[in-house]
Homo-oligomer: A and B are copies of this chain.
Amino acid sequence: MKTSLGAKTLAYPTPVFIVGTYDAQGKPNAMAVAWGGICCSKPPCLAISVRKATYTYGNLVERRAFTVSIPSQEHVVAADYFGIVSGRDVDKFAVAGLTPVRSDLVDAPYVGEFPLVLECKVVHVHELGLHTLFAGEILDVKAEDACLDAEGRLSAELVRPFSWAPADNAYYALGEKLGRGFSAGKALETKGA
């Protein structure tokens, strides 16, 4: 039996994207965003949704650029902090003891200590309501060398990312591998053929 929970933003998993921007004075800012995800393969694009009231919103409109830094599990406290306070009031990088690194491709900073970074140029802006969706074209992805396996491929086990669960108001680690994509379902494919 299913029970109705109402019209709510409940889904699993949602990401923990740390969105890096510069303000008008060039001060780096970082904000935690869970409303977002990859939205196009060609050109490669990632969407983030932010409220107009955020400091990041003004920076996005002004600079038309952002980065997404993906934290490891040891960065939960900093990631949560980035979602609690506003960059209007404080230099969040300085308080968190993290390094804003200027992207060489877009006009935005990323978190130097975080393992995975996507550098994005804003290509679409869509008003949805309380949130505005910014679609950014991914110009490059940069990963810590320690997160690449012996073949030079990015590895979830080495990045050790985590997710946000809005229903639970909690962060969860990425857990055990359950199966390979475009593979686990092949038994059913044969059945249906």
Taking Cβ atoms with an 8 Å cutoff, the residues of A that contact B are 1-15, 17, 34-47, 49, 51, 68, 70, 73, 76-85, 90, 92, 95-96, 116-118, 123-124, 126, 128-131, 133, 135, 137-145, 148, 152-156, 159, 161-189, 191-193
Contact = CB atoms under 8 A, between A and B. Distances in A.
Contacts of A13: 13, 15, 161, 163, 174
B39 A131 contact: yes
Contacts of A2: 117, 142-145
Contacts of A156: 12, 165, 167-168, 170, 172
Closest 6 CB pairs of A and B: A175-B175, A81-B185, A80-B185, A37-B37, A95-B192, A12-B161
A81 B178 CA distance: 14
15 contacts: A2-B142, A6-B140, A7-B43, A7-B138, A9-B38, A10-B143, A14-B38, A36-B39, A37-B47, A43-B128, A84-B189, A155-B167, A163-B174, A170-B177, A171-B178
A81 B174 contact: no
A9 B44 contact: yes
A174 B12 contact: yes
A3 B143 CA distance: 5
A180 B168 CA distance: 8
A80 B37 contact: no
Contacts of A42: 129-131
Nearest to A119: B7
